[in-house]
Amino acid sequence: MSRRTIIAGNWKMNMRADTAAALAKGVSEAVGENPSVEVAVCPPSVYLHLVSDVLAGSAVGLGAQNLYPAGDGAYTGEVNAAMLSDCGCRYVILGHSERRALMGETDKQVSEKLAAALAGNLVPIVCVGETLEDREAGKTEDVVGTQLRGSLEGLDESRATGVVIAYEPVWAIGTGKTATPEQAEDVHAFIRNLLGELFTPEVASQMRIQYGGSVKPGNAEELLGQPNIDGALVGGASLKVDDFVGIIKAG
Ligand code: PGA
């Protein structure tokens, strides 16, 4: 079953408007009209409109970094799926480890966001990953398995193939420490197996699982060459056109 590689840039809270526009322009020009992989960038929400305008007609998709799972209403400070679509978004990152750690986001909240994203026709990128403490205690599969089951709770099998999973070991995010291709592949294979149990092996074989955590041009090819790694969610290296494009070319 062939799965189209998906490379997404998570820009986090890292720029002002001029940098966001320049980065989007640089990536879309470098990627061209027919990239062999699916490419997306995820700017801060206040710059989605701006980046959407810059990307108009380009092969680079637009994603958000979060959403609030409700329709319009009294939710001060929040943004919902329909608003993200209005801004030109096709993707949305959900349950990133920074949101889990800093904002206390739970698996249950991620599952509600997932339902809202799908109802709003967005492609969700659902993040899971263990801390260094979890890994050293031999709990990687326990933790990742619990996050995955909880975050995908209520997901209908018929929608599952439209969901992207991102495995991001917390100890590898922004630290320069990448999981070795073998460490990453082991967890990706575990995730695919679990998806097979939650849905069916056939459905699991069609679901894309990205790796994230200090992906760079220099390690991307080996990581993306693993049988169960179908793309990358890139933080730091997505902030430089050359680095991000180097990763795209490795895909
Ligand atoms: P990093 O971030 O590439 O800077 O490690 C990845 C992520 O948090 O999505």
Q: Is residue 1 part of a domain?
A: no
Nearest CA among 51, 47, 54, 44 for reference residue 10: 44
Q: Between residues 178 and 218, which one has the greater pLDDT?
A: 218
Q: Establish whether residue 101 lines the binding site of ligand 1, counting it when its CB lies within 6 angstroms of any ligand atom.
A: no
Q: What pLDDT, in 10s, does the model give residues 75-122?
A: 999 999 999 999 999 999 999 999 999 999 999 999 999 999 999 999
Mean pLDDT over all residues of the chain? 97
Nearest to 165 by CA among 182, 188, 140: 188
The residue type found at 174 is: G
Q: Whose CA is nearest to atom 1 of ligand 1?
A: 235
Residue of 96, 98, 105, 130 marked catalytic: 96
CA 128 to ligand 1 centroid distance, Å: 12
Residue 2 reports pLDDT greater than 90: no
Give the residue whose CA is nearest to atom 7 of ligand 1.
235
Q: Report CA(74)–ligand 1 centroid distance (Å).
A: 32
Q: Give the per-residue pLDDT at 94.
A: 99
Helix axes 140-151, 107-119, angle to 10 degrees: 40
Note the pLDDT of residue 1: 56
Residue 174 maps to which CATH number?
Answer: 3.20.20.70
Whole-angstrom distance, CA of residue 71 vs CA of residue 20? 28
The residue type at 118:
L
Return the pLDDT at 58. Answer: 97
Residue 226 domain flag? yes
pLDDT in tens, 119-145: 999 999 999 999 999 999 999 999 999
- Considering the domain boundaries, does residue 194 fall inside one? yes
Please tell me the distance from the alpha carbon of residue 237 to that of residue 222, in angstroms, as a whole number. 16
Show the tokens assigned to 169.
Answer: 């070991």
Buried/exposed code over 145-179 (b: 16+ C-beta within 10 A; e: otherwise): bebbebbbeebeeeebbbbbbbbbbbbbbeeeebb
| Kind and range of the H or E run holding 224 | helix 217-224
Tokens of 210: 């990205």
Tell me the C-alpha distance between 251 and 231, whole Å: 7
Q: In this structure, is residue 244 part of a structural domain?
A: yes
Query: CA-to-CA distance for 230 and 6, rounded, in angstroms?
Result: 7
Domain containing residue 122: 6-250
**Domain assignment present for 227:** yes
CB 213 near ligand 1, within 6 Å: yes
Q: Is 129 in the pocket of ligand 1 (CB under 6 A)?
A: no
Residue 149 domain-assigned (yes or no):
yes
With a 6 A CB cut-off, is 236 part of the ligand 1 pocket? Answer: yes
| Angle of helix 17-31 versus helix 48-55 axis, rounded to 10 | 30
For residue 191, the model assigns a pLDDT of 98
The predicted structure's pLDDT at residue 183: 97
Spell out the residues 6+ positions from residue 150 whose beta carbon is closer than 8 angstroms to its own. Answer: 106, 107, 108, 110, 111
Decide if 90 contacts 62 (C-beta within 8 A): yes
Distance CA 172, CA 199 (A): 29
In a domain, 207, yes or no: yes
From 38, 168, 185, 188, active-site residue: 168
Task: Kindly give the number of the ligand 1 atom that is closest to the alpha carbon of 212.
Answer: 6
Cα–Cα distance for residue pair 207/33, rounded to 1 Å: 25
At 47, is the secondary structure helix, strand, or coil? helix
Quote the pLDDT of residue 177: 86
Q: Is residue 51 part of a domain?
A: yes
pLDDT at res. 178: 87
Q: Ligand 1 atom closest to Cα of 127?
A: 9
Can you give the pLDDT at residue 62? 98
Determine if ligand 1 sits within 6 Å of the CB of residue 212.
yes
Question: How much is the pLDDT for 176?
Answer: 87
CA nearest neighbour of 211 among 201, 225, 197:
225
The number of folded domains in the chain is: 1
